[in-house]
Amino acid sequence: MTNFKHKRVVIVGYPLGTHTHSYAHHGMYRAFKKLGFDTYWIDASGWHMGSLDGFSFDDALVFTERNAGIESMPLVKSSTYAIHYVGNKPGMDITGRFLGKVGRLIDIRFNSMYKWDDNGYSYDMSQLPLEDVVPGLKFEKNADYDRVYMNWSTDLLPDEFNLDDRFIPREKKVHYLGTIGGGKGGIDDCLDTNPYYDNRPFLSKFRDTCLKEGVEFASNCPWLSPLKDEEVKTLTQRSWIAPDVRMQAFLDWGYIPDRVFKNISYGQMGVTNSRAVQDYFNGMLIYSDNPSELFYMAQDKMHDYNLILDQMKFVQENHTYLHRAIGLLKVVNDV
């Protein structure tokens, strides 16, 4: 996209593996670099402006998150600020920090299938005047500030997919690498949380079925011991099956997680307990809301390499950070 209206892309984020959003920031950084833009990734953990040695935020697309040091961030009229989690609930709406001080404000929101309703946001996707920009990214034009609804993605760029990875031999062990319960532990020792936000009940029954069938179940907490991307990829590829299990809130809201994109891109069958995720993938995944049934269905299809190939191509052609970056650039350029 040669007619990009800004001179540079500035991503203000966290060191990789230290924050949930660090993975998205890393993905967007690599994607913009791949597209040939002058791209910078600034570490927001404890930063201060004196450490930037005169770095300019002028004439830039600034991509960041509400907690990533925005109090110290220069606000300039020549730049577009795309900020995740601006919020729209009383006491959580931070648009006042930016309106009138920046050239354009874009609120980056989760592209859920149905709705979102947490401490910071409340919106119903069916009630919004949304424009499909690219798969995985929708746009809502507003008089005050614009909204972009975006799904996160796999860390692989399209040319990094190896379609033969679907043939990698599996070991009789499920490696579950996402957050369990309230985090900071596994099924038996993680933090407690509100039952509405707890995936342990489903995951515990899934584990019981694994053990009944002689399949070991192992987890790694991304909060206590984050793994490098290559380690996550390798463990996922070796896993007997690689389910993505979501809590009731995400099932009700229709959240589409990055984990399912990653698992598929590494060569695994897409396996989910979310009807929304199944619908998002046009019904091509393995889906059940019954933990034991999900295990057996996934195990029966684990060597369906043609189905895995279809899933991998679907992600490769539509759902990488390269596609997300292109979509955001179209919005910024008013294309």
User: Is residue 58 located within the same domain as residue 197?
Assistant: no
Q: Supply the pLDDT for residue 176.
A: 97
Residue 2 forms part of a structural domain = no
Residue 43 is assigned to a structural domain of this protein: yes
326 located within any domain: yes
Please give the residue range of the domain that contains residue 80.
8-153+320-332
DSSP string of 15-66?
-TTSSHHHHHHHHHHHHHHHTT--EEEEE-TT--GGGGTT---TTEEEEEET
Strands across the sheet containing 146-150: 39-43, 8-13, 60-65, 80-84, 104-110, 146-150, 137-140, 131-134
Residue 3 domain flag: no
> Do residues 73 and 179 share a domain?
no
Does 164 map to a domain? yes
- Token pair for residue 118? 């947490």
Q: Which of 152, 182, 329 minimizes the C-alpha distance to 256? A: 152
Tell whether 20 is covered by a domain: yes
pLDDT tens, position by position, 145-157: 999 999 999 999 9
| Residue 1 is assigned to a structural domain of this protein | no
Whole-angstrom distance, CA of residue 144 vs CA of residue 230: 42
Same domain, 174 and 145: no
Predicted local distance difference test score (pLDDT) of residue 49 = 46
pTM for the structure as a whole:
0.95
Residues 185 and 309 in one domain: yes
Number of domains making up the chain: 2
Looking up tokens 């050239």 gives: 103
What pLDDT sits at residue 42?
86
Ranges of residues in the chain whose predicted pLDDT is under 70: 1-2, 45-54, 335
Distances (CA, A) of 169 to 56, 161, 177, 220, 259: 49, 17, 19, 21, 21
Does 226 lie in the same domain as 133?
no
Based on the domain organization, do 74 and 176 belong to the same domain?
no
Let me know if residue 254 belongs to a domain.
yes
- What is the enclosing helix (H) or strand (E) of 131? strand 131-134
In a shared domain, residues 146 and 28:
yes
